[in-house]
Amino acid sequence: MNLNDNQSENALQLRGKKISIFGDSISTLIGYNPKGYNLFFTGGTCQRAGVRTAEDTWWGKVIGSLGGELLVNNSWSGSCVTKLPNREGLFPSGCSDERTSALHNGLQMPEVIIVYLGTNDWANGILPRYGSEFACGEVDWEFVFEAAYCEMLKKLKHNYPAAQIFCCTLCAAYMSQNPEFVFNENAGGINIKEYNAAICRAAESQNCRPIDLYKYAVPYDSIDGTHPNKGGMSTLADLILREMLGENNA
């Protein structure tokens, strides 16, 4: 990636930072997530996707390019930002106290947090925000995507006040092994753009930095229409770095 002057300055500001990842299945990898967490990238899936080491993942590539250090990868396969309907408490949702307080390692605190969550909320048609067009009525905040995302960021900022927080929007995918596959932006019944707009609004309202992957209209290669293969991970890493180092983030 060739950097202009502004990007080079931003890269210097981010260089060598302790970075924590906050995500779902796309960001899991066996050996890198907390004990007992649900994983997607493990065993045969790693072989199928060609994602075998941290260097093959989007987050490993981003951290490597920035000369940073992975502090914690708090990613749970299948997790939403919002509360899962079959759970008594908020855990393992992104808005839970347990997860928003588990991005440090002992006395080491993250200097950068990259949030890549929301795919499962979109896929399950979770209400994206309060508004008459979605007929939310008296729905509690933990079941409304934007409200839960804001609450999640408030908790992260309270627990890690010195950290820079970057929030990734959701990105379209394709399948090189299945050319007939067509990405469905309305997979859960509500267009993905609604969730991406909610992510950007939530990030800006909490003084965090939105990482708008969707705006580039560059889909990533995947093994199933959702989970990236090795090439797809490279695409995501390139887009995330482009946003993190962009002039708007100076």
Q: Where are the domains of the chain?
A: 14-249
Summarize the confidence of residues 7-30 as an average pLDDT: 92
Residues across the chain: 250
Could you report the per-residue pLDDT of 42-83, keeping only the tens digit for each? 999 999 999 999 999 999 999 999 999 999 999 999 999 999
The radius of gyration computed from the CA coordinates of the chain, to the nearest angstrom, equals: 17
Residue 250 has pLDDT above 60, yes or no: no
Largest CA distance in the chain: 50
pLDDT surpassing 80 at residue 135: no
pLDDT value, residue 162: 98
Rounded to an integer, the average pLDDT of 95-119 is: 99
pLDDT value of residue 4: 55
Q: Taking the model in full, what pTM does it have?
A: 0.94
pLDDT at position 3 = 54
Beta carbons of 169 and 199 less than 8 angstroms apart: yes
Average pLDDT over residues 150-176: 99
The CATH number that domain 14-249 falls under is 3.40.50.1110
Q: Looking at the predicted structure, is the pLDDT value of residue 248 above 60?
A: no
